[in-house]
Copies of this chain bind each other. A is one copy, B any other.
Amino acid sequence: MTAASASIVVVNPNSSVSMTEAIQRSIEPLLAASTIPVRTVRVIDGPPGIDTQQHVMQAGPAMLRAIGAMPAAAVVVACFADPGVHLLREELTVPVLGIAESAYHAAIQFGHRFGIVSISEAAIGRHARYLRELSLMDRLAGDRSIGTGTAGLNEQDTIERVKDVATRLKQDDRAEVIVLGCAGLGEHRREIERHVGLPVIDPVQAAVGFAQMRVALSQ
């Protein structure tokens, strides 16, 4: 696997086919405007969702196995827990982008303080720890959960709950930008944006956009 090869590899560390397809759909607008190829893969024997520290710990080695000998110009880890990112950076010579980190870096381009729509209450403390690690805590307006684990994400009303929570982040916490705290919602991004009246960041789109830029500049 070398930087010379042009394909960006997006790895979903869980085994969900529908999530992987949603990820693929969400990045279509970026692919349409670029000449750099992107491949989306999933960890076939991974867990259905990354919910526990056990899952986080196992994600790195599992993703390395999934990528295997596949040539890559950059790797995007498509899970908002950014699992295994440090491990992949140690093992690979190409850029490795976590989608949460990328989402935060994109969000601060649109306003001073962003709000996060989280999938579960439990994630909120983890996000805070990560934002402190990245020295970005001052930029957080609020972090609110839609009150369901990743299991609930296929339900009819998920998008409606995301819109409601995003609206509270705008009105009560004065967020100027919204970060979607989960992979797989990107195809609904512009709809949410219109509803809330604020820029909305999809983390996978952010990471793939940044990866395209890096690959273009390394050629």
Seen from chain A, the residues whose Cβ lies within 8 Å of a Cβ on chain B are 29-30, 32-36, 52-54, 57, 60-61, 84, 86-87, 89-90, 97, 101-102, 105, 108-109, 112, 125, 128-130, 132-135, 137-139, 176, 189, 205, 209-210, 212-213, 215-217, 219
Contact = CB atoms under 8 A, between A and B. Distances in A.
A181 to B, nearest CB: 17
Nearest to A126: B86
Given A133-B129, A139-B135, A216 B54 contact: no
30 contacts: A29-B216, A29-B217, A29-B219, A30-B216, A32-B35, A33-B34, A33-B36, A33-B215, A33-B219, A34-B34, A34-B35, A34-B216, A35-B35, A53-B60, A53-B87, A53-B90, A54-B87, A54-B90, A57-B61, A57-B84, A57-B87, A105-B105, A108-B134, A125-B176, A130-B133, A132-B134, A135-B139, A137-B138, A209-B213, A209-B216
A70 to B, nearest CB: 20
Which 8 pairs of residues, A with B, have the shortest CB-CB distance? A209-B213, A33-B216, A53-B87, A133-B133, A53-B90, A135-B138, A53-B86, A33-B35
B108 A219 contact: no
Given A33-B35, A87-B57, A132-B132, A209 B217 contact: yes
